[in-house]
Chain A
């Protein structure tokens, strides 16, 4: 199971125009991610972490090379097809939880399923299950402004996971959380990774996150500096 390649990056290069020149954000990246990995991209600002996440998340396309995500060549997808890929197969978690403020917790988590045209009963079942995973089933009717930072991020995880995506992309998910909440969130993600087989890819500077990762990819100046598989104390959490 763990050997099934879910993401394949071959000589992926991304350049951005800067003035009359170009800035190379990713420089011939070659990486593969297998199903169920719990991995992270680390590196200083400008190293290419976010650009790489954008390509994996079908939010951007490479300038050169080939990025294949769940069998889809990212560069060949139309806007609509990449939106569909995100909606069905890729979940996102941001630094801040980015919940839609006028909707309840239930409705926020329900939203990706609305886009999939699931029936009301299917949606209700899936949302309550997702809220159960994060331990916030009782918060279904609350508005985001009544949630703490940790609770908000847990709801964001439920929203990302409710559609049971193959890949979950998390950009600095613990950056705005205290240590206790950060550990709680990471343990929950690890549990979901193990139980649902979802591939997690983090972008992080946070040492706490790194203690949970099975694989850390160090990026510098758009290149893979080091790709290490590690045994961490929190991996079994």
Chain B
């Protein structure tokens, strides 16, 4: 019977052509938008992980409570011991030190007077250690617009837009004004080794990147760090694993009343990312639902028209002894086959679009230039294994729903009228 249906679908183009076109369009849009949302979310999570949250982050309890203020006076100390312990307990994780700091950049003129000033968001990474993965992880070399990576603790990278605003040149000296972790003032001169653009407005506005040793010295944080970030060695965030590691770590300190005791947070528990990711999942669900609904209504209509066109065929089949439920279920089976064909075409088209969007993306920098949220300025689609299948849900479901609705008419057919209808 399947072969019989299959032949009908292949030979009767008006039975299959229009539904396949409708499904292909709907599935292609579903695939494209899903890949785009997946890309946007993955990029956002990835960027947050790389720059701010890690897959897990260790801070003092007090630092965690006031995190938005970057309270380096509450930073972790004796981090070498803590790092050793973490590497021993969780060898599947790569641990790194980070310091973030705020301050003022002063640009002197030739006579040493202030030529320009601006607030800076400082970031200290392990840049000079050849064993460190930080340069690669943060894609710093790729993000450098001009100049080069700092080669000494006396060099710094500054945000490209920031440099343009202050009219900075490579090789010029700048002075950082800020406070140490003990609350005293600190001044430090740096030579501009290059300008950088991370592709996230929140980072690029006033970025200043220095080596972690320079920051430790400048901020009086010997063997200290604001945060320790952990990255799973697989390179991919896995929430269950991160949550398990965090739980195991936190269990050790749960009875420690010291506000400087360390505490670990998985990525999803930071920056409201859990809500954001849940929201993204919900949006993806709503998107698929809307496509299923819209396509079902169109296919219902198409099914009704098809039902009129095939009115005689169903009459013949009833006369030949096919029962109404059998015809109905055969129509649904036919819908599944057509749904699959349309979904395959739609997925191919959607994947082609998603691939293009994965390479080129959409530049949203104009919209994010004032954003304080860490999000990429070019949103790219991301093709993941699920993208290959996601279109089949609305594709097959919509076709089946449309057919189920339109096929109900078969049950209303009166066999007693067949002799009159089949003339």
Contact = CB atoms under 8 A, between A and B. Distances in A.
Interface stretch (A76-84, A128-136, A182-190, A211-219): A76-84
A16 to B, nearest CB: 9
B206 to A, nearest CB: 70
The 5 closest A-B pairs by CB, nearest first: A87-B321, A60-B416, A83-B323, A86-B321, A59-B415
Given A87-B322, A96-B423, 16 more contacts: A51-B416, A59-B415, A79-B324, A83-B318, A83-B324, A83-B326, A84-B323, A86-B321, A88-B321, A94-B319, A98-B422, A103-B11, A107-B4, A114-B1, A114-B4, A115-B322
Q: Could you say which interface size class chain A belongs to?
A: 20 to 34
Interface string B302-324: 00000000001101111111111
Interface in A58-115: 59-60, 79-80, 82-88, 90, 92, 94-96, 98, 100, 102-103, 107, 111-112, 114-115
Given A50-B419, A59-B418, A114-B4, A100 B316 contact: yes
B423 A83 contact: no
A96 B419 contact: no
A80 B323 contact: yes
A103 B1 contact: no
Contacts of B312: 98
A107 B321 CA distance: 16
- Please report whether the interface of chain A is mostly helix, strand, loop or mixed according to DSSP: helix
Interface in A28-71: 50-51, 53-54, 57, 59-60
A57 B319 CA distance: 9
B111 interface: no
Q: Could you say which interface size class chain B belongs to?
A: 20 to 34
Contact of A59 (B8, B324, B416): B416
Most buried by A among B1, B321, B324: B321
Interface of A: 50-51, 53-54, 57, 59-60, 79-80, 82-88, 90, 92, 94-96, 98, 100, 102-103, 107, 111-112, 114-115, 159, 171
Given A83-B318, A107-B7, A114-B4, A171 B419 contact: yes
Interface in B276-327: 312-313, 315-326
Contact of B320 (A60, A82, A95, A115): A115
Contacts of A87: 320-322
B258 interface: no
B272 interface: no
B12 interface: yes
B420 interface: yes
A212 B276 CA distance: 83
Most buried by A among B11, B322, B416, B419: B419
A94 B423 contact: yes
Contact of A79 (B315, B323, B418): B323
A102 B423 contact: no
B419 A86 contact: no
Nearest to A78: B323
A100 B322 CA distance: 14
Interface string B245-261: 00000000000000000
Given A60-B416, A102-B7, A86 B422 contact: no
Contact of B422 (A88, A96, A112): A96
B11 A86 contact: no
Contacts of A95: 422-423
B347 to A, nearest CB: 27
Contacts of A50: 419-420
Given A107-B4, A107-B7, A114-B4, A53 B322 contact: no
A80 B419 contact: no
B8 A54 contact: no
A115 B320 CA distance: 9
Nearest to B321: A87
B252 to A, nearest CB: 68
Contacts of B8: 102-103
A112 B12 CA distance: 20
Contacts of B419: 50, 53-54, 59, 94, 171
Interface string B7-39: 110011000000000000000000000000000
Contacts of A94: 319, 419, 422-423
Nearest to A14: B416
